[in-house]
Amino acid sequence: MEGDERKRVLVVGGSGYLGQHLLAALASSGAGAGAVDVDVAFTHHRDAAPRQLLDALPGIRSFRVDLRSGDGLEAVSASFGQPHVIVNCAAISVPRACETDPAAAMATNVPSSLVNWSLSFGNDKSLLIHLSTDQVYEGVKSFYKEEDETLPVNMYGKSKVAAEKFITEKCSNYAILRSSIIYGPQTISPVDKSLPIQWMNDVLSKGQEVNFFNDEYRCPVYVKDMVDVILSIAKSWLSDGKKIQVLLNIGGPDRVSRLQMAESVADVRGYSHSTIKSVPASSVNRGVASPPDISMDITKLTQMLGIQPITFHDGVRATLDAEASTL
């Protein structure tokens, strides 16, 4: 990286769940070992960026960008400049939506316009940190490693595999993060989607019997751990500019089913387990195939970055404590 030039970070999909948490961390310069002092901008796909987000983070700039066509990226070039780090959090991540409209899933989830725009600067000064998914794996065993074959069972996973292939073929510097379910506190500007821990807490608090799958396994990751991973990779790149081409599984240390997730929420809040009903995933037709076990081995993550994600139980407690503090 050049000497005294101000470094620039662009968060694509910054108004989404992970994007907002990342922006908040980037805005808190000096707050913690992972902090980096940079100029920050983000993209959003709606007509206007969330007002709450802009008010809370006044030093951060926003740009409306259509990732499918690339419309809006030239405005980023013109008034923000070439980003040294691009973090791509944007995606159509609801599997059923991807199944319903495969063309839209591919157009959004394969970041061809974003990558081609980054290449248009004609140098290797940009690092792309791209969010992928555990759903690239087939789901027929436990604790997948990064080198295991990708055999997605649904369109969402297929679009993410296509994105990984495109990035690794085109980009000189990239970090692809295969993320499990990301959970944690609500965002500055509340997102539309249902947040898993908050939803479970809400239904369990009402004392009504609820079904939870007992045979689909993931390694949910606390959002602040995911942010720390991104900041760690960005900080390394910004400090030395050494070539980065890495693929990492990002999950928590625990392999849990939806049933076990609900039981953890009940344990933290002191709810009875009697309303938690254990059912197989096959009992519900979700309109899309879902991999049974896409738990991931995170040894590479812990060895490479020295980050130890918190346990699911501790993450649930931190999430619910944060929610209680905002009431």
Please write the tens of the pLDDT for every residue from 29-85.
644 445 567 999 999 999 999 999 999 999 999 999 999 999 999 999 999 999 999
Q: Which of 54, 32, 33, 28 is nearest to 42 (CA)?
A: 54
Using a 10 angstrom Cβ sphere, with 0-12 exposed, 13-18 middle and 19 or more buried, the burial of residue 147 is exposed
Q: What is the structure's pLDDT at 29?
A: 61
Regions of the chain with pLDDT less than 70: 1-4, 29-36, 327
DSSP E strand boundaries for 230-269: 245-250, 256-257
Q: What is the structure's pLDDT at 6?
A: 87
Strands 217-218 and 256-257: antiparallel
* Other beta carbons less than 10 A from residue 123's beta carbon: 9
CB 65 within 8 A of CB 76: yes
- Angle (nearest 5°) at CA 151 between 91 and 128: 40
pTM listed for this prediction: 0.96
Q: What is the structure's pLDDT at 325?
A: 80
